[in-house]
């Protein structure tokens, strides 16, 4: 698969590098699966695309990822911190663009 993987900073506790590390997977494992896929599908729970394959040390894994369309010319990473977590629940995200002809593509929210 011809993909570019966008990694968060290695020390970002909530980033994708730390997430895969919690599952004993590293960036090279993920890259190897994308370079040598056994299959592709869509996650039933998140509706995100996923790819299946073997890591360099022959572990079979599924990688669920976000796909950024090639039609996007500009990308902006928006981040924020929630001061009062208020317990684990779904948090909705709304992003509005105040310019004619532009559209923001975002996730609908997240659990925290």
Q: In a 10 Å sphere around its CB, with 0-12 CB exposed, 13-18 middle and 19+ buried, how is residue 62 labelled?
A: middle
Res 107 pLDDT > 90: no
Res 70 pLDDT > 70: no
Contact 53, 60 (CB under 8 A): yes
Q: What is the pLDDT of residue 74?
A: 66
Residue with the bigger pLDDT between 92 and 33: it is 33
> Which residue reads 């105040």 in tokens?
98
pTM for the full model?
A: 0.60
> Which residue reads 């040390």 in tokens?
57
Q: Average the pLDDT over 14-19 and give the result.
A: 90
For the chain, give the mean pLDDT.
Answer: 84
Q: What is the pLDDT of residue 26?
A: 95
Tens-place pLDDT, residues 52-66: 999 999 999 999 998
Residue with the bigger pLDDT between 26 and 101: it is 26
């Amino acid at each position: 698969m011809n993909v570019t993987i966008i990694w968060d900073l290695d020390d970002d506790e909530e980033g994708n590098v730390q997430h895969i590390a919690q599952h004993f997977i590293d960036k090279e494992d993920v890259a190897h699966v994308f370079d040598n896929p056994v299959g592709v599908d869509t996650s039933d729970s998140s509706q995100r695309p996923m790819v299946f394959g073997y890591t360099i040390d022959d572990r079979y894994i599924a990688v669920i990822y976000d796909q950024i369309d090639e039609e996007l010319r500009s990308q902006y990473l928006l981040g924020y911190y929630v001061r009062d977590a208020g317990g684990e629940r779904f948090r909705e995200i709304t992003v509005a663009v105040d310019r004619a002809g532009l559209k923001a593509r975002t996730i609908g929210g997240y659990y925290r």
